[in-house]
Amino acid sequence: MSVSLSADSAPSDPDDELLVAYLDGELQRGERSELENRLLVDEPLRGRLTELQSSWDMLDVLSVDGSGVSLVETTLELAIADIDSSASGDYNRTNDSLQRSKTKSRWNQRRMAPVLLLSVMAGLAAWSFAAFESRQQQQNELRDLAIAQDLDAFNYGSDLTLMRHLAANPDWIEMVETAAELSAETQPLQPLRQVALDQRQSAIEQMSVDQRELLGSRWDAFSRLSDADQESIRQLAATIETQSDRDTLLNTMRAYATWRSRLPSGLVDQIEGDDADASRQAVRDAIDESKSSMAETSGSQLDDETVDVIYFAIQEFAKKRIGKDQRRYQPPGGFRGPLENPKTREWFAIRQMFGYPDRRGPGNRNRSNGGNQNRRRDVSLTSNEFATIESLLPTQSQETLGILTNGDPTLVTMTLQVWVEEVIRRKMPLRSDKSLLQRYQDLSEKQREIVDLMPPEKMLQSISGGRSGGQ
């Protein structure tokens, strides 16, 4: 609702003008006495006088922010200029008319000023409220961001009883620590919950690009949750903050969320089931499976020095075995084609002795050799040979083996067997690290034309080197 600044809209009640003159001390003694007598018996008139007096008192005590002073001054100047212009029309008025005009002008000024000031105050209040709302929203988002950073932990670690059971399980803790030491993941994010609210924006700006992208993806995932799910997670976070072991709980929840993602769904269902005994047994089974899985995948992390040391050892073992029974380790059909090369023959014999060419994954360790009975080989090294390899390992690899196995003889043997297989794979004479695309790009234009006309299966076989002939 707009406020008009024209003097024509101001009230011209004679009693108001009389009260204004009374407050200004402009009445003669007789007029003042007459008005005061009226005030004694006229209650509405007394109320009007009180309103005018309150408005003027407010002008005396009102404090306006520096940001609004210039606006108030400008507004008042416009109002006064408008009022003065409306009062300056007739210069031939009598002295009495001029006096009444001045009184009316003064009334208009004092009448309008509180209204204008209140309007300015309302505007400033609205601006302040909007700024407060914006700050409040930003603070709420920073609080939620700390929760979103651990979204997986809150989603999957809400069973605090299970989390405390895992935190008290030394085998589980050892397995988690082993996985963390072997992990090639980037540096973990600093928990925002440990950063003061007014410093979180700065902490986010100091994160690496990868860390900010990870945090952003988790924030997006949190934002996509329903309001009810978001509130449920906030309540869980608030509950954890009240626990005396909150730091241990949160660390366990984070580790469990990561571990859970690597387990078969059946084991996860048992771990999170209502049967406490079945849950504990499932945890034990999952720990054993995780240790085996880490051993199975550790071969890919072997450095070149370790690969060379292990291959040297199995070369020596192979020479001794070949010397005892050379015919046993000859390939089917004899040494023809690529196998005429001595190094290739040596590698073939080593593969026959120590490798698992039919194995395709961790679940196939004990699979049979298939229907080809000509593939005779020793499927593992002897305990003395394993001990020899272990003693020759570089210091770093020995430490890794210790972390993986914690000295368990069965795990040591299994891990070393995995490493031997990885070494044999890497030392394959015809092995190429090039991708299919790189191999295709290496072909001549004529060879590409020939390959492009092949059926898909033939094309892949040709590019991958599966054909016996040239390309």
Do residues 433 and 465 make contact, with C-beta atoms less than 8 angstroms apart?
no
320 vs 331 pLDDT, higher one: 320
Residue 126, pLDDT > 80, answer no
pLDDT over 60 (residue 471) = no
pLDDT at 445: 65
Look at 125-139, 151-165, 396-410, 439-453 and tell me which has the smallest mean pLDDT: 125-139
Locate the domains of the chain by residue range. 7-132, 150-297, 302-431, 433-471
Band of residue 364 on the pLDDT scale cut at 50, 70, 90: very low
**Does residue 381 carry a pLDDT above 50?**
yes
pLDDT of 248 above 90: yes
Can you give the pLDDT at residue 468? Answer: 37
Task: State how far the Cα of 37 lies from the Cα of 23, in Å rounded to an integer.
Answer: 15
d(CA 94, CA 103) in angstroms, rounded, equals 14
Lowest mean pLDDT among 24-33, 74-83, 451-460: 74-83
Q: Once rounded to an integer, what is the mean pLDDT over residues 173-178? A: 89
Exposed (0-12), middle (13-18) or buried (19+): which is 77, by Cβ within 10 Å?
A: exposed
- How far apart CA 27 and CA 131 sit, in angstroms, is 49
Render pLDDT for 412-421 as a digit per residue (tens, 0 to 9). Answer: 988 998 899 8
pLDDT of res. 94:
43
Residue 330: pLDDT band by 50, 70, 90 thresholds? low
pLDDT of residue 136: 66
Q: pLDDT band for 87, please (50, 70, 90 cuts).
A: very low
- Which run of H or E residues covers position 183? none
* pLDDT confidence tier of residue 131, bands split at 50, 70 and 90: low
pLDDT over threshold 60, residue 363: no
* Residue keyed to tokens 């994160």: 207
**Of 56-60, 267-271, 350-354, which has the strongest mean pLDDT?**
267-271
Do residues 256 and 158 make contact, with C-beta atoms less than 8 angstroms apart?
Answer: no
Lowest mean pLDDT among 31-40, 323-332, 358-367: 358-367
Average predicted confidence (pLDDT) for the chain: 73
pLDDT in tens, 36-83: 888 888 888 887 777 777 666 555 544 444 444 454 455 445 544 544
Stretch 167-188: mean pLDDT = 80
Distance of CA 232 to the CA centre of its chain: 18
What pLDDT was estimated at residue 199? 81
